[in-house]
């Protein structure tokens, strides 16, 4: 992690709910929607572990288009 990326990440407030280091996938829960939006803006496309991060907001179950209830 670069020093600049570490500084950007340190200002964000979230709780790591799940992370798979081998696949490079994780889920971080943000308490405040503005913080979540800021995390997407700050971290998306930043280099991390030799690849560019893809950061996006999760959709609630109602937004998936699933017909299962």
Tell me the per-residue pLDDT of 1-55, one tens digit each, with 9 for 90 and over. 567 766 766 677 777 777 777 777 778 888 888 888 988 998 899 888 788 988 8
- Does the pLDDT at position 58 exceed 90? no
Q: Give me the pLDDT at residue 45, please.
A: 93
> Side-chain half-sphere of 3: how many Cα atoms within 13 Å?
0
Structure tokens at 5: 């990326």
């Amino acid at each position: 992690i670069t020093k600049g990326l570490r500084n950007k990440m340190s200002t964000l407030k979230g709780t790591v709910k799940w992370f798979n280091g081998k696949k490079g996938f994780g889920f971080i829960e943000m308490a405040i929607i503005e913080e979540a939006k800021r995390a997407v803006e700050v971290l998306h496309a930043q280099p991390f572990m030799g690849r560019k991060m893809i950061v996006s907001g999760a959709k609630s179950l109602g937004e998936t288009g699933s017909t299962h209830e």
